[in-house]
């Protein structure tokens, strides 16, 4: 058999999927390792998808997506960022992950470097490697509340650096960037001639602090490419629907790139997304309240056991320090914990080397199951 491409062989397995797939094979396992919203999809969203099929609207759409959906995304992003975004800058993608792949395809040549957070979501580095680019970690240290320091990022910029990837609210950390920090990061990118790729998957879920998009400080839109999704906001993970916001004047080029990667997103998903964005917003409000209450309940269990954790300000994850019980290998510890206690937690090393000793706890399921699973954790030694 001929050999696979070298850049494919450099992509490490996703440890989140590793532990989750193992848990799915365990009867009655408590699965707290994956961020899958647990609420039923609102009826009006399902009806919009069904109506698309009923009228047999199953042909190609424009590469960039149907115009009403691009307009709805543009309206939402404009409102949230406070910086007007024209619909011509919005390109409908098959979820945020395809949007990230599309953005990196647009911004990175082979051998270019992209700065990614450590800890950070694993596909940031995986996607870069698939495109022959080089992911370079910038640290998010516990001593700094897992927030980036501008001087740490600046020190890692070389002549090959092209992109600074930001993720707020953070998966896996639940941390949220302040307006001052976000402004400083945009100013750094402008000074050093970098693009910013902003993953804003969890923008709908912050607790007592606002979500601040880098688009707010990007003026005419010269630096920031922002990836959005409805997977988390409306629980549409399987419909694979999101949007990429690009700088002005890129419509023709983006249409060509979209054609080569995805052609267009499935029309039922697009009309479902349109219904989600323009219809009742009860789902988002209910989900946000549920995640906040789950955060508080999980935090109480960890505090009672004496296990340190990062107070989550956004997303629907809790980042907990189990270094006192994990023996220096959190990946192996989570496997043993699953086997012995039937509870799956995502090991912190799935998100980078700084995650050693930590776990990510998904807060999106039922509260009773969440509390029961965490109650099986050992107390701090």
pLDDT tens, position by position, 331-375: 999 999 999 999 999 999 999 999 999 999 999 999 999 999 999
Instruction: Please say if the pLDDT value at position 8 is more than 90.
Output: no
**pLDDT tens per residue across span 208-264:** 999 999 999 998 889 999 999 999 999 999 999 999 999 999 888 898 989 998 999
Torsion angle, CA of 268/273/274/276, rounded to 10 degrees?
A: 130
The residue written with tokens 């799915």 in the block is 24
Paired sense of beta strands 242-245 and 224-229, if any: antiparallel
- Structure-token pair, residue 259: 């054609």
Please determine, for residue 198, whether its predicted confidence score (pLDDT) is greater than 80. yes
Beta bridge partner(s), residue 113: 134, 161
* pLDDT value, residue 301: 98
**Region label for 315, one of left (φ > 0), alpha (ψ between -120 and 50) or beta (otherwise):** left
H or E element, residue 202: none
The two domains 6-41+282-375 and 44-278 share their CATH topology (first three levels equal): no
User: Tell me, what DSSP letter sits at residue 377?
Assistant: S
State which H helix or E strand residue 118 sits in.
strand 113-118
Burial of 245 (0-12, 13-18, 19+ CB in 10 A): buried
Phi/psi at 43 (nearest 5 deg)? Answer: -60, -35
The alpha carbon dihedral of 350, 351, 354, 359 has a sign of negative
Cα–Cα distance measured from residue 374 to residue 361, given in angstroms and rounded to the nearest whole number = 9
Mutual orientation of helices 43-54 and 267-278 as an angle, nearest 10°?
140
Q: Tell me how far CA of residue 24 lies from CA of 127, 228, 366, in angstroms.
A: 26, 28, 17
pLDDT band, residue 36 (cuts 50/70/90) = confident
> How does DSSP assign 57-115, residue by residue?
--S---TT--HHHHHHHHHHHHHHHSS---GGGEEEESHHHHHHHHHHHHH--TT-EEE
The domain limits of the chain are 6-41+282-375, 44-278
CA distance 109 to 120: 22
CATH number (3.30.1360.70, 3.90.1150.10, 3.50.50.60, 3.40.50.300) of 6-41+282-375 reads 3.90.1150.10
Tell me, which fold does domain 44-278 have in CATH? Answer: 3.40.640
Tokens representing residue 59 in the block: 């042909």
Round to whole Å and give the CA distance between 249 and 136.
Answer: 29
Average pLDDT over residues 140-169: 97
**Which residues touch 272 (CB under 8 Å, ≥6 apart)?**
45, 46, 48, 49, 52, 236, 239, 241
* Distance set, CA 102 to CA 9, 107, 280, 376 (Å): 21, 9, 30, 41
* pLDDT tens-place string over residues 75-127: 999 999 999 999 999 999 999 999 999 999 999 999 999 999 999 999 999 99
- What is the 3-state composition of the chain as percent helix, strand, coil, each rounded to the nearest 5? 45, 15, 40
- Assessment of whether the complete model's pTM goes beyond 0.85: yes
């Amino acid at each position: 058999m001929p050999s696979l491409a070298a850049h494919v062989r450099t992509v490490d397995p996703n440890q989140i999927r590793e532990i989750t797939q193992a848990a799915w094979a365990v009867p009655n396992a408590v699965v707290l390792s994956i961020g899958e919203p647990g609420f039923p999809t609102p009826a009006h969203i399902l009806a919009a998808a069904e109506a698309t099929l009923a009228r047999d609207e199953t042909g190609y759409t424009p590469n960039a997506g149907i115009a009403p959906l691009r307009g709805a995304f543009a309206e939402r992003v404009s409102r949230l960022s406070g910086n007007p975004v024209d619909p011509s800058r919005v390109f409908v993608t098959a979820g945020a992950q395809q949007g990230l792949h599309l953005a990196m395809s647009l911004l990175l040549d082979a051998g270019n470097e992209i700065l990614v957070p450590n800890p950070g979501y694993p596909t940031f580095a995986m996607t870069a490697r698939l495109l022959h680019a080089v992911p370079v970690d910038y640290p998010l240290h516990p001593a700094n509340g897992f927030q980036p320091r501008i001087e740490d990022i600046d020190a890692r910029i070389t002549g090959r650096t092209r992109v600074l990837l930001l993720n707020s609210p953070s998966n896996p950390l639940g941390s949220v960037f302040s307006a001052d920090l976000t402004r400083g990061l945009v100013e750094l990118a402008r000074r050093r001639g970098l693009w910013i790729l902003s993953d804003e998957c969890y923008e709908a879920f912050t607790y007592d602090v606002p979500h601040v998009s880098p688009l707010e400080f990007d003026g005419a839109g010269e630096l920031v490419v922002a990836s959005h999704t409805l997977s988390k906001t409306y629980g549409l993970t399987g419909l694979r629907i999101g949007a990429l916001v690009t700088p002005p004047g890129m419509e023709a080029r983006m249409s060509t790139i979209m054609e080569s990667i995805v052609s267009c997103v499935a029309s039922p998903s697009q009309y479902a997304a349109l219904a989600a964005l323009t219809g009742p917003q009860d789902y988002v409000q209910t989900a946000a309240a549920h995640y906040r209450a789950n955060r508080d309940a999980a935090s109480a269990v960890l505090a009672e056991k004496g296990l340190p954790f990062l107070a989550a300000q956004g997303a629907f994850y809790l980042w907990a320090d189990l270094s006192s019980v994990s023996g220096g290998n959190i990946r192996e510890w989570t496997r043993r914990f699953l086997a012995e206690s039937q509870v799956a937690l995502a090991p912190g090393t799935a998100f980078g080397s700084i995650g050693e000793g930590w776990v990510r706890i998904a807060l999106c399921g039922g509260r009773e199951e969440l509390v029961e699973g965490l109650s099986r954790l050992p107390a701090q030694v």
